[in-house]
Structure 1
Amino acid sequence: MTYFLGLTGGIATGKSTASNFFKKQGIPVIDSDLIAHQQLSKRNVIEKLSQLFGNMILTSSGQIDRKKLGAIVFNDKNSLAKLNAELHPLICQQIKLKIAEYERIGCPFVVLDAPLLYELKLDKVCNTVLVISLNFELQKKRLKERNNLSDLEAEKRIYSQLPLEIKKNYANYVIENDQSVEILENKLATLLKNIRR
């Protein structure tokens, strides 16, 4: 019986750092962001998205320019909804295939890393859910620095996701990531020990 831990949080709250911690422990991680990027490189998806948003979202080599696509969808709710309608079913399908594969080989513990875990109803396939949380101002500061965004751009990206407070209310575990990476990893190590017990 495979135990699936759902890992989620807000943008720039430290979810990737948490995901890397689990990888370092030798735990398989299903990475929904990686799956999304793989979908964006498929020819049929590129063609569909360029029909929806125009060729200006393509690079000179005909790939999706994620920065240009982001500039469109994070400034317009309808555009974001159109993108999600195309990508989300494909992402969910791939995640469910990976879940089935880990169950088939009898893997004891797997982390499902998905920023949109609740929005995609993927919490339903997890035994428990961990939310990596951060106060709004620090989240915005980290996002601005990481992605070189203005205040407004950072806020639009944060507000495009389900509010962290709602995710925390649904979660089995919440870890605040308002200190160092080392402290976050210590908290995760303690949590992992408790789950494995």
Structure 2
Amino acid sequence: MAIRKIALTGGIATGKTYVATRLRDAGVPIVDADVLAREVVALGTPALTAVRQRFGPDVIRRDGTMDRIRVGQIIFKDKRARQDLEAIIHPAVQKAIEKYFATLPKKTPFAVADIPLLYETGRENQFSDVIVVACPRAMQLSRVMERNQLAKDDAERRLAAQLPIEKKIDKATFVVKTDGTFDETNAQVDKLIALFTDGKSR
């Protein structure tokens, strides 16, 4: 039987990183799209060449690596530029995710790809299931303000840049709620691990 490919997503400050860590600590094979996004634009990669061609030499440091701060400044102000960058990076990341899945032992019941912008990039159909990590928006806003030391207006803008968590919940196969205790969150994650290990809910 083929490995069950599951996507893990959520919104900023919903607790996705905590859930990913819980899965990893339980021995679940998990690959991080954010890590891959850095790797696919490493020195000498086709994606880095494409970034240089699109954005010019100013986004490349003296050592030949991508200047993330400079690129971030450009795409924050220019929606088209952000879309162009995503068109370069996201296909390369998806290819790397598929490569990761292909390296796993055939008897692996399931594996997880941690993809923060899964729905925003339209990749949900490439997975058999989607787990959305969620909390109420008011709690999400409070966490962003505290964690990132942001004023409310700035935190609101961060949230507005992503699909609302309510819409992600509507699209999800499974939801892990993180508005309770750590033990309550852990219990939800452990239940999903058992479910996927047994091969149910296909």
TM-score, normalization by structure 2: 0.81
How many equivalent pairs are there? 196
1:162-177 to 2 correspondence within 5 Å? 162-177=163-178
The worse-fitting range, judged by mean Cα deviation, of 27-36 and 155-164 is 155-164
Match of 1:75 in 2: 77
Q: Aligned partner of 1:70: which letter?
A: G
Q: Is the 8 A contact 1:7 1:131 kept in 2?
A: yes
CA distance in 2, matches of 1:21, 1:134: 17
Q: Which runs of no fewer than 5 residues in structure 1 stay unpaired?
A: none
Unaligned runs of 5+ in 2: none
Q: 1:87 matched to which residue of 2?
A: 89
Structural RMSD (CA)? 2.5
Alpha-carbon distance between aligned partners in 2 of 1:56 and 1:149, rounded to the nearest angstrom: 29
Superposed counterparts of 1:61-140, under 5 Å? 61-102=63-104, 105-140=106-141
| Pairs within 5 Å for 1:1-197 | 1=1, 2-43=3-44, 44-55=46-57, 57-59=59-61, 61-102=63-104, 105-197=106-198
Is the CA contact (8 Å cut-off) linking 1:9 and 1:133 kept in structure 2?
yes
CA distance in 2 between counterparts of 1:31 and 1:3 reads 17
Q: Residue 92 of structure 1 contacts residue 120 of structure 1 at CA under 8 Å; is this kept in 2?
A: no
CA change 1:194–1:48 in 2 (3 A) is closer
8 Å contact kept, 1:17–1:181: no
Point out the structure with the larger helix share.
1
Give the whole-Å Cα distance in 1 for the aligned partners of 2:178 and 2:72: 26
Q: Which moved more, 1:85-94 or 1:180-189?
A: 180-189
- Taking every aligned residue pair, what percent have the same amino acid on both sides? 31
Deviates more, 1:43-52 or 1:73-82: 43-52
Task: State TM-score, norm by structure 1.
Answer: 0.83
Letter in 1 for 2:84: K
